[in-house]
Every structure is written in C-alpha cells, then in structure tokens.
Structure 1
Amino acid sequence: MGGNSILKRIFMPRFPSIGGCSDQMADSRVLGIDSRGFQSDLNWWRLIPSPIPVFKTLVLISSQDPPGHDGNEAVGVKGDKYRFHIYGEGEKNTTWRFGAPPNYDVVNKLFEEDRSKEWPSGSIEEKVQNLVKTFEMELFHKACLDDYKTINSQKFTLSINGGRSMSVEEVGKIGGYNALLQTSLADRLHAYNPYTETPESSDELFRTTFPRGFALEILQVYSGPPVIAYKFRHWGYMEGPFKGHSPTGKKVELYGVSIVEVDDSMRIEKLDFFYDAGELLADLLKGPILEGFEYDTSPNSSLGCPFLKGM
C-alpha cells in the first residue's frame, strides 16, 4: 500500500465542528490504537515515505529534539516521547493557545529524573499515563475545542471532588488550572481563587512558580477500559514566586485518584478527579512574603484565617 493511501486511511474521518474551528480531526488510529482501545506500537508509521514537507516546519518549531529523534519521524510520533497529537499532518490546522506547539523537553527531564516508577513499554499503566499526559497537553495548549483528539467532545464532562460536571466548552473558557482548582470554600479562604483568575493569568502564575513544569506519573491502574481508575502523582519544584510568596526551591507534590470513562476509540467521555488541592497550595504559601508585596490581611482575606497564618 502506498504512502498516500495510508495517510488517507488515517486522516479521512471528520467530526462536527465546535467552537468555530477547523472540523478536521484525526480519528483514534493516529494514536496507533488497536482493537482493544489501547495504543499499539505505532510501527505503521515506518511505511510512510520520509521525509515529507511538514518536517521542515517541525524542525523550526522545536528548538531541541528529544534523544533518539532525528527530525524525520512520522505523524503522531515526532516531538515527544509521552504525548501525541502535537506534531504531524493531523495538527497542521491546530490553533495553539501560545502560538506554537509546546515543547516538553524540560518537564520530561524532570519526569525521568524524579519518577518513582518506570512502566514497561506497552503496559496498561504506560498507555493510561500517555493518554492522561496527552489530554493535559490539549487542555492547556489547544485553543479550539475541535482540535482535541483525546476526548469525545459531544459527551465530555469534568468534575472535581464530586462537584458539578463541567462541559468541555466551559473548561476551555475558564482555563485548565481554574477548572482543576474548583473549590466550595468561601472566597475569604481561597489561597488561589479560580473564579477571579483568567486562563492567561493562571497560566502565567503557575509557569512562573514551576519553571521546570509540573510532572505527572501514574502510580497504579486499578481497572481497565471502558472505566479506568488510577492513582496519580503530580510534582514540581517551587523555583518561582506564588501570590507574593518567595520561592522555596522545594519539591511540591499532589497525589490523587481519577475515574475515566472512555468510548470504543479510547476517547474520554467522563473524567472525575479526587484530590486535596490544599495539599498543593499549602506548600506554595510556605515561603516568606516578598518585600514590597502588599497582602490583604483583613478578616475577610485568606490570611485572616488562623490556619493559613501559620503556614
């Protein structure tokens, strides 16, 4: 079978447009998903003639290829060892929130140095880990909802700690951090208020606080598709300020569990996270207040809370 036929087989499916963006979306086979709904070994890409013109663009976009990548890899593989749907023909019309595809070299290095487990290639743990990493990449970096490949946009909902379900449109509107840090606490108890932050301000805040990124690993998978339950760990080093607090340079960790419902193509339809965001925020408030920073210490502010005062 010729290369053109392979590309047509992979990229022909289309899905309804949402959000006014391009309606071209690659189907699950761009992930190399097999009949069980899991990512296969992706050996099919070797049948595609190389190089093809798109790679000239890819080399310019990525300032540094990960080890073992020679710039001539094919669709769905080029650019990152743990995430898909960043580079390639299927992303040529993708609208990126920050103007270009993300480069995860720095956080990948952090992940490889500090992870507690290294899952065997092809294991269910590795497959779930790569799916979640790819979903988070799309959530934070793709500006148009119909560019998302990891979700079934017609059914997708997200909830935090059993709270109300949010649609993909709402999540895209308020931003990833604000969606993931939803809370029922009173406003005066907010160390971080997701209801007053914008997607732009939240991205800038956490990028500054964690300049090397906030790594993710899957610690255990309890059940397989169509309902996947797993335990995860997020971590990073507080090497930048947070809300007027000096950086501590220390590792900040967040543990939690998640339940994911997927369709036959391994696209996420329902995602429920359970974790204590206070575990994360408390560590970010341990540094001394920066000189010249004016904090609201009135009884109505978070610093008026005796528990937060002692952090």
Structure 2
Amino acid sequence: MTEIKSKTDQELESLEAQHGFTRPDRGSLEDPNIQWREGKPDYRSLDLLYYKGKSKNHAVGSLEIIVENLVKKWEMQMTHITSPKDWSTVKLDEYRVMVNHSQEMTGQDAVKVGTYNWIMEKASKDLYDAENETFESSHKLFREAFSGGFPWEVLEVYSGPPKVAFSWRHWGAFSGKYKGVKGDGQKIELYGFTIATVNSDLKILKLEVYIKFEGFLRALQGKATPEDLVRGQELVGTGCPIHQQVKTE
C-alpha cells in the first residue's frame, strides 16, 4: 500500500531535496523502553519551521552540525524523558548548569524546575516569576505564546571540545498569548552564548549559558518591540538559502 504523506512531510522532503537540508538528530524516538513525560514528541512541524526560518546552513558533518544536534538531543531528553538513566547527552554524576555566571545547579535539580525556570531564575518578577512557575506551568506558558513552535539554531562555534563555545538563536511567531497579552504573529528572536564542557564521548558535564532575557520577556508583554531585540547582522550572517524565499508559516 502506498504511504500517504502529510503536507508537512512533503514540504520537509522538498526542502531537503532542493537545498540539501538534513533533519536534526534528536536520538532514538522509537525506543519502546523510554518513559515519556507527555507521550512521544513529534518534531516534524518544528523541523519545518527550522528549515524555513534558520539563518545558517551548516555543512553536514561540520562541528556546527554536531553541536546543534547535541543541543537538540539534550533539549528533547531534558524536556520529554522522565528517567535520568535515559539521558544519553549528559554525564549525570557531573552534570551542572549555570546562567550568567550565577551559582551552579545540579543537572537533576535543573530538570526538576524546568529549563525556562533555571535560565530565567534571576529575571525581574514582574517579567517572569521563576519561583512560582513549575516545570509544567513554564512549558505551558511559552508553548501558548509560541503556539506554532520556537525553533533553535547554532550560529557560530568558536572552539571545539572539551570546552565548546557557541552562539545561538531562538525565534518564533508570537501568535498565542503570554500572561494575558495576545500576540499578532510578530517574529520574536532571542540570542545567546553557551559554553558546553564535554568529555571524550561528547557527554555534557557543564553548561554555562549567557543570555539577556529581559528584552525577550518585555517584548512578550508588549513593553518592547521585536526590533529592539535584534543585535545586528554580525550574529546572523548572510543567511540560509531560503531565508528570504520562504515565509515562515
């Protein structure tokens, strides 16, 4: 029987054939032994947004692609897999995280509170009150804001293992609501810099994240414009071959 492919699958395959794009590697999503937090995630729609909106097209096998896939696999595991024994991207007994050179947090504690909460722990409470958000509520908050997805890409890699330093970009259409503020579909971007200390097996030992999240949160509350967040083309570069051709849906 001929498989009927969805429109999303067809678009993904078309862009891959036309531009040589490769799907992000998030590890084995078919392992029957994995304990999923909310069921097995489906990344096809997010991958399509990534294809259409990314500003870089790193070469297959490049250090940039290796780093990007490691981070995407890490994000999948920290967000969707409940059991630490299934976190293949980190060395659990050594894994630590730190934001803007604040106090270190153990990886397991970071997962308990949720990525948004440990990254924005020091945010002004009128913008984001990490103490009163749980793992579940924080993810719900931002999923509702970026209802179509919030893709992520590596921009530049400045050093290889064991200390991998890289800049990155998040972006998405603010088409939902954030704390009662309704978006009108405007693109909001978030830039940052990370140093990932890894071992010889590329397991993460420590993440040091440097980010200015205040402007991002202000834009979601209508207190700043998305244009205020753009830090210049020197971070974005010349762009992906379809960046100007295909409008993000």
State the TM-score bracket (shorter-chain normalisation). Answer: 0.7 to 0.9
Does 1:85 pair with 2:27? yes
- Matches of 2:112 and 2:9, distance apart in 1: 32
Aligned to 1:128: 67
Residue by residue over 1:158-205, the C-alpha shift from the partner in whole angstroms, topping out at 9 and shown as x without a partner, is 1111111111221121112212222164x4xx3111110111111111
- Matches of 2:155 and 2:62, distance apart in 1: 13
Equivalent residues in 2 for 1:194-273 (5 A)?
Answer: 194-273=130-209
Q: TM-score, normalised by structure 2?
A: 0.79
Does 1:97 pair with 2:33? no
**Relative to 1, partners in 2 of residues 1:65 and 1:113: Cα closer, same or farther, differing over 3 Å?**
closer
- Matches of 1:86 and 1:198, distance apart in 2: 27
**2:95, 2:204 within 8 Å by CA — same for their partners in 1?**
yes
Which of 121, 128, 136 aligns to 1:182? It is: 121
**1:102, 1:141 within 8 Å by CA — same for their partners in 2?**
yes
Q: Which has the higher contact order (CA 8 A, sep 6+)?
A: 2
User: Secondary structure of 1:218's match?
Assistant: strand
Aligned to 2:228: none
Q: TM-score, normalised by structure 1?
A: 0.64
- Matches of 2:123 and 2:188, distance apart in 1: 23
Equivalent residues in 2 for 1:100-119 (5 A)?
Answer: 100-119=39-58
- Matches of 2:34 and 2:105, distance apart in 1: 23
Aligned to 1:141: 80
Could you tell me how far 1:236 is from its partner in structure 2? 0.7
**Relative to 1, partners in 2 of residues 1:248 and 1:113: Cα closer, same or farther, differing over 3 Å?**
same
Could you tell me how far 1:86 is from its partner in structure 2? 3.5
**1:248, 1:286 within 8 Å by CA — same for their partners in 2?**
no
Structure index of larger Rg = 1
Could you tell me how far 1:81 is from its partner in structure 2? 2.2
- Matches of 2:57 and 2:215, distance apart in 1: 25
* Structure 1 or 2: more strand by fraction: 2
Could you tell me how far 1:65 is from its partner in structure 2? 5.8
Aligned to 1:171: 110
**2:36, 2:82 within 8 Å by CA — same for their partners in 1?**
yes
Could you tell me how far 1:109 is from its partner in structure 2? 1.0
- Matches of 2:116 and 2:167, distance apart in 1: 19
**1:223, 1:230 within 8 Å by CA — same for their partners in 2?**
yes
Equivalent residues in 2 for 1:140-159 (5 A)?
Answer: 140-159=79-98
Q: Which structure 1 residue ranges, 4+ long, deviate > 6 Å from structure 2?
A: none
Could you tell me how far 1:248 is from its partner in structure 2? 2.6
Q: How many residue pairs align between the two structures?
A: 210
RMSD value, Cα: 2.1
- Matches of 1:181 and 1:146, distance apart in 2: 26
Residue by residue over 1:42-74, the C-alpha shift from the partner in whole angstroms, topping out at 9 and shown as x without a partner, is xxxxxxxxxxxxxxxxx9xx9x76855xxxxxx
**1:145, 1:168 within 8 Å by CA — same for their partners in 2?**
no
Residue by residue over 1:64-105, the C-alpha shift from the partner in whole angstroms, topping out at 9 and shown as x without a partner, is 76855xxxxxxxxxxx921332424xx32111110x211111
Identity of aligned residues (%): 33
